[in-house]
Structure 1
Amino acid sequence: MTVVMVTGGSGQLGGALRRLSWPRPVEVVAPLRDELDLADADAVSGYLLATGARAVINAAAYTAVDRAESEQAAAFHANAQIPAAIAEAARSADVPLIHVSTDYVFDGGLARPYEVGDVVAPINVYGASKAAGELAARAIQPRSAVVRTSWLVSPDGRNFVTTMLRLAHERPRLRIVADQHGRPTIADDLAKALAGIALRMIDDPEAPTGVFHAASEGETTWFDFAAAVFAEGALRGGPVPELDAIATADYPTPARRPLNSRLSTARLTRDYGISLPPWRERLPDLVGAILDRAPLNGA
């Protein structure tokens, strides 16, 4: 039995990693916050040794993008200081680290998908804190894979798909941003990709390290993504609100968003033979899982 430590086990991605059918027998250990202080490198190292974990997947993060603008210390603690401590523990225990990051480390100014080597230039506090976490992970534990992803969605918690399905029951008309471009990522598919990276790094000390991008195949905008979600909901008897396409400038938020969040996943496919399925193919299952799990009409 191979033991893999997952941090952030109660989040969207952590939950997907815990329920994943791994390709070989794996025990996932995912300590809760009150069980392990992730900011304490010695404590994390001790946990790794005690459990016999052979890799760490860090899915813990502060993800409140707008709130981070006024909670900078909290964002940098969770997204930079904690990854540094986890990386120190992984190096001490001599286990590989897979650290999850974000498309928001980029400013969105390019007219093409971002490659792993493109210049990092975040335009909000959340992105800056995640960029700092990337640097810490790579500098402290050279045997690490930083995996950037984008527009993560799952049946769990609050994300774009669950929010749209809820709002469909609450409002007859919605204004959706149409000039931000990206690749939605299904959490279950990302979890499978991370598992593949982790197991390869466990088995092969020479497995590729550095920065990778992982996102579901297919580009879209928030507006078109919302339309696709409502179309799937309608097939299950859900309401379809009227949609108004608006520009980012028409929907001001505390944190600026990049207009281009498209990530090129070429390196992940080249080095690990991994590509995520198209989000449009996986959307019916996702919407069905959300609607089957709980009513979204306030009942």
Structure 2
Amino acid sequence: MRPDDWHLTEDIDDFLAHAGGFLRSRPVPHIMPLTWIGRLRARGAAAYGAEAAVFGFLEREGEVRGAFYRLSPSRGLSLTPLTAEQADVLAARLVALGHCVPSVSADDATATAFAEAWQRHTGATPRVRVRLCLHRLDRLVPPEPFPAGRGRTAGERDLEQLMGLCREFAEEVGEAVTIGADSWADTRFADKQYTLWEAPDGTPVSMAGANPMVAGVVQVDPVYTPAALRGRGYAGAVTAEVSRAALAACAEDVVLFTDAANPTSNALYRRLGYVPVVDWAAYDF
């Protein structure tokens, strides 16, 4: 494989003209790049501090076989599935071009291969930040019984509540983001459709978001119940509601990520009919 099999561009339209079909050909494992590139197209790079975004695709014999994106020099590299050789050639190409890569995320095998290649080429020591598991809905199995209360679609009047819940979620998972009235529109949380689970007195006790459908796939993200209200079935109920809404909107697939180290959430989603399809990893350098 030649280093110039990897084509780099800062033009998102040029990238999609070459790699868009490849990404849409396997939308479930490619849900992360499809989602983020869709956001950039819809709202502009400035909204996410991605004015210096870089995109790349691997092309051999006229066929795209892999892709990556990096939203800014301070953000990590996100990869589609690659072989160890493909990852090594990419690492060498990025080093030769003077790119700094603070982290990488991809399916577990690809992330590990790139982390090892980056260490070989730069001497940087990789450290696992998180391991995730991508799940796909096989057949929705609503919890039985549902907890007391009801699910409803969130509206404008719920914005303060949603911002507070998303802020708590981001803090709990270690996501560096400022969420407030002035910054909400520029966060990844703003473009979702939210469902709330309300207690019988109308108090919201759990939420689930759904990203805009892309290539027939809806990603459920985030799901959050405040710590004091957990263990009562609210997360399962609201996830079932948002999953049902995605299917009603004619989604071909519904997916979500879980923390591989959290047996409670993994067991919950599998009871609802989600099945694991891809192990995921993120490494910091």
TM-score by length of 1: 0.30
The structure whose residues are more often helix, as a share, is: 1
